[in-house]
Amino acid sequence: MGFTALIKEPQMYKVEDKNNKPINLPDGGILIAEKLANTLG
């Protein structure tokens, strides 16, 4: 398992959903994969 920390408005990375639509990073908290969220409970 790996983790990558990103700043709020990344310039080198962009986060997209499975339909290639941009995802805004949350102001607080974290953005994780659904499978990981389910594993963590």
Model pLDDT for residues 1-41, shown as the tens digit of each residue? 667 776 666 565 677 888 989 888 777 777 788 899 899 98
Computed on alpha carbons and rounded to an integer, the radius of gyration of the chain in Å comes to: 11
Classify 14 as helix, strand or coil.
coil
Roughly how many angstroms between the first and final C-alpha of the chain, as a whole number? Answer: 16
Instruction: Write down the pLDDT at residue 27.
Output: 76
Instruction: Write down the pLDDT at residue 38.
Output: 93
Helix count (H) and strand count (E) of the chain? 1, 0
